[in-house]
Amino acid sequence: MQKYTVVQRITRFFWIPRSARRQQPTPCWRVIGLCLSVLAFGAGVTAMGWDDEFGGSYIMAMMLLLNGVDDIIKGVRHRWPAALAAVAILSGASWLTSAVLPGSLDAAWVKTIAAAVGITLGFAVTAAITRLPERLAAAR
């Protein structure tokens, strides 16, 4: 592989040329299915008591991040703002939810529930932002 090809691929990861066609975002039914499966997986890991070994809340957060990276690689429009907003919503919603939950719950369940709220909102924000229309040509 030539040096120019590597540089071109790295540059394309961050800045897609204006002439390139944008890919469509992930269909809503697939995002909903991914979100539900991630939530079920995280709850299953916590219910089995494997949260200390595998970190169900961290695995759920990684799935959200991998979804954002997938959108970035595919070249979906508004991909960077969607990924940044998803991470911000994930951390903020998880922190607020863990502060609100009662102390009578087990610590593993508090982390899992807080992560589930952050993951759900993160997927929703990502799906909404990637479906925003592009700017009009006259506005440029």
| pLDDT band at residue 13 using 50, 70 and 90 as cut-offs | low
> Which of the four pLDDT bands, split at 50, 70 and 90, describes residue 69?
confident
pLDDT above 60 (res 139): no
> Token pair 């595919």 is at which residue?
74
Q: Average of pLDDT values for 69-89?
A: 87
Mapped to the 3 state alphabet, what secondary structure does 10-46 carry? HHHHHCCCCCCCCECCCCHHHHHHHHHHHHHHHHHHH
pLDDT of 136: 53
Whether pLDDT at 137 is above 70: no
What percentage of the chain carries pLDDT values higher than 90?
40
Higher pLDDT, 111 or 138: 111
Mean pLDDT throughout 105-113? 90
Q: Which of 8-17, 67-76, 90-99 has the lowest mean pLDDT?
A: 8-17
Domain segments of the chain as ranges: 22-133
Of the two residues 127 and 135, the one the predictor is more confident about is 127
The pLDDT-based confidence of 91 (bands split at 50, 70, 90) is very high
- Alpha-carbon distance of 120 to 7, in angstroms, equals 36
> For residues 48, 51, 55 and 56, what is the CA-based torsion angle, rounded to 10 degrees?
40
